[in-house]
Amino acid sequence: MTDFTGSRILLGLTGGVAAYKAASLARLLVKAGADVRAAMTASACGFITPATLQALTGQPVFTDMWDSRVPDNMGHIELSRDRDLILIAPASADFLAKLANGLADDLLSALCLARRCPLLVAPAMNVEMWQSPATRRNVAQLRADGVSVLGPASGDQACGESGMGRMLEPQQLYDELAAQLAPKHLRGKRLLVTAGPTYEPIDTVRGITNRSSGKMGYAVAQAAAEAGAEVTLVSGPTSLEAPCGVTRIDVTTARQMHEQVMAAVPKADVFIAVAAVGDYRVADAKSHKIKRGSGNLHLELEPNPDILGEVAGLAKGPMCVGFAAETENLRENARAKRQKKKIPLLVANLGQETFGRDDNALILLDDHGEHELERAPKIILARQLIAHIARMLAEK
Ligand code: CTP
């Protein structure tokens, strides 16, 4: 369990039935040593009472802009100045809209607008509210403004409907806060990460790709950014959003990925190749749609550049980390691949079927041997991997 001693958190609650989960979160954080100050909107007080939060946090709870307990009635400024971060959980659709537009007509929204510390929000709402164009716009704006959006999850909802919009569970929010407050082991380091599949055109409407979802690479980029690194993510086609604070460069083909990586690599301290790069491309891709013929159609494939191999071969290149997707003889193939690519760290997927899943199990192979990382959500594994890389950099 993470030690939160010395961490000062402002927990903001807005109107939503998930407010009861925020009470559990407050309990978890206080038990782990955090100093938790709660502020609630009037709607939040319709779901649980300030007395509950006061009892759990051991501190006064703030609900009113004009609270005489705060010097000079400056609660909207004073209450966040000594905080390491603000987490709004649950964050209602209405509150996200206010944040996205800079409204400040109650204590909590004014606190958020006047803050100097990072802001995290854990949305909680009905599936239709979450999917509405207005909420989509507001969430995109918040992300662009540097706000971290945690979740939501999908599942049964209190209203009886089902879908995206459930607030993350207290333990998940706890883990997110732990990551946010974790020591910045990679501050000052520049990481270059590739992620996702590549797509090689056959003609203007067809192509060769693979089943990589990009989830592992995006998790690695997120974990590196959380550890304080400056992160560039060169991504093949995925449906994922760039993690907060990460610079994403979109590419389609392996050659485009190669070009972008080689342009960025001189500035990188570490290169992590997570992408499932197509080893071959169609030699003669057509610039029109191929018509159906009567006989067989032959495609000639020519090799793509080995991006990781090339970066690993640079005289003054970055520290290189490779991923290995093997379907058989995992350990032997992974060991051989590390030797062949001459890289200090290779990450082998222990799970048979990892593409598209949210969890995985990994083995890290380095000069010291093999380290197994147990099955866990990809973001948890990514944080363990980044911690391992930070230790290797420190040892260098
Ligand atoms: N990789 C790369 N460029 C390529 C192929 C792979 O940078 N053209 C990187 C991947 O991002 C991964 C590592 O090399 O980090 C291993 O990828 P993998 O496909 O498992 O290995 P290959 O070298 O292609 O070997 P094989 O497919 O024969 O197992």
Q: How far is the CA of 347 from the centre of ligand 1 (A)?
A: 12
Q: How far from 120 is each of 74, 148, 215, 308, CA to CA, in Å?
A: 22, 5, 21, 35
Q: How far is the CA of 308 from the centre of ligand 1 (A)?
A: 7
Sign of the Cα torsion 200, 202, 203, 204 reads: negative
Q: What is the pLDDT of residues 326-364, one digit of tens each?
A: 878 888 999 999 999 999 999 998 766 667 788 889 999
The confidence score (pLDDT) of residue 364 equals 97
Measured from the CA of 308, which atom of ligand 1 is nearest? 7
Q: How far is the CA of 330 from the centre of ligand 1 (A)?
A: 14
Residue at 1 is within a domain: no
Confidence of residue 270 (pLDDT cuts 50, 70, 90): very high
The confidence score (pLDDT) of residue 66 equals 83
Residue at 3 is within a domain: no
Give the Cβ contact number of residue 271 at 10 Å: 25
Measured from the CA of 322, which atom of ligand 1 is nearest? 15
Give the Cβ contact number of residue 163 at 10 Å: 15
Domain boundary among 158, 181, 204: 181
Residue at 315 is within a domain: yes
- Say whether both 177 and 199 belong to one domain: no
Q: What domain count does the chain have? A: 2
Residue 149, SS3 per DSSP: strand
Q: What is the pLDDT of residues 31-85, one digit of tens each?
A: 999 999 999 999 999 999 999 999 999 999 999 988 878 776 677 788 898 999 9
Which domain CATH number covers 360?
3.40.50.10300
- Say whether both 370 and 245 belong to one domain: yes
Residue at 323 is within a domain: yes
- Is 159 a residue of the active site? yes
pTM recorded for the entire structure: 0.82
Q: What percent of the chain has pLDDT over 90?
A: 81
- Say whether both 208 and 120 belong to one domain: no
Q: What are phi and psi of 220, to 5 degrees?
A: -65, -45
- Say whether both 342 and 377 belong to one domain: yes
Query: What is the Cα–Cα distance from 124 to 157, expressed in whole angstroms?
Result: 10
Nearest CA, atom 14, ligand 1 = 308
Domain boundary among 131, 156, 181: 181
- Say whether both 311 and 381 belong to one domain: yes
- Say whether both 221 and 83 belong to one domain: no
Domain boundary among 148, 181, 214: 181
Residue at 2 is within a domain: no
Nearest to 373 by CA among 355, 348, 341: 348
- Say whether both 176 and 207 belong to one domain: no
Query: What is the Cα–Cα distance from 113 to 117, expressed in whole angstroms?
Result: 11
Residue at 88 is within a domain: yes
Which domain CATH number covers 110?
3.40.50.1950
Q: What are phi and psi of 155, to 5 degrees?
A: 155, -165
Domain span holding position 243: 190-395
* Ligand 1 mutation pick, 209, 272, 279, max ligand atoms within 8 A of CB: 279
- Say whether both 55 and 117 belong to one domain: yes
The confidence score (pLDDT) of residue 161 equals 81
Give the Cβ contact number of residue 80 at 10 Å: 24
Confidence of residue 157 (pLDDT cuts 50, 70, 90): confident
- Say whether both 381 and 268 belong to one domain: yes
Q: What is the pLDDT of residues 104-132, one digit of tens each?
A: 999 999 999 999 999 999 999 999 999 99
Nearest CA, atom 6, ligand 1 = 277
The confidence score (pLDDT) of residue 77 equals 81
Residue at 242 is within a domain: yes
What region does 262 belong to: left with phi over 0, alpha with psi -120 to 50, or beta? alpha
- Say whether both 157 and 303 belong to one domain: no
- Say whether both 227 and 356 belong to one domain: yes
- Say whether both 113 and 255 belong to one domain: no
The confidence score (pLDDT) of residue 353 equals 67
Nearest CA, atom 4, ligand 1 = 306
Residue at 66 is within a domain: yes
Nearest CA, atom 8, ligand 1 = 306
Which of 45, 117, 159, 320 is catalytic? The answer is 159
